[in-house]
Structure 1
């Protein structure tokens, strides 16, 4: 177990209801990305890369106010939701 994993928060949804939530795996996937385990991170949580892209673009848009930044943020948000829902469906059904 890496030192980053000791700081992870438990999933209260999983503890309460016994099944993973839509975000389960995000923290572990982020740790895997930071460790350079890119394919393992994708297998853990497929939306990790689009989520990181959304975060980076959102921060850049706040600083630089891109002309069509809000449209790109919306598109990335919809893409993340879609990937997350498909992943959740494939895990559970």
Structure 2
């Protein structure tokens, strides 16, 4: 796994800390552990899959769906990051 430079240099996690480990946990089938590691992994996966599908099949309200998924992903990242900072 790649080390987090933010954590090494500044001493605290960044917004993406845990995403790499969570992705590999999903590949191993450990879905709940992946969620605990990085809660935003699932909204990000849904967003990525929708973007890929939209590339091949154009959806009518794709921009609205992409915006909702992006806001959900960013909100999940910010909330989980804030909780992680508070619990340190």
Structure 2 residue 46 is matched with structure 1 residue 73: no
Q: CA RMSD in A?
A: 0.8
**Greater than 6 Å deviation, 4+ residue runs:** none
In structure 2, what is the Cα distance between the partners aligned to 1:36 and 1:66? Answer: 30
Runs of 5+ unmatched residues, structure 1: 1-7
Q: TM-score, normalised by structure 1?
A: 0.88
Runs of 5+ unmatched residues, structure 2: none
Total equivalences in the alignment: 86
- 1:63 positional shift: 1.1
1:46 to 23, 26, 39: 39
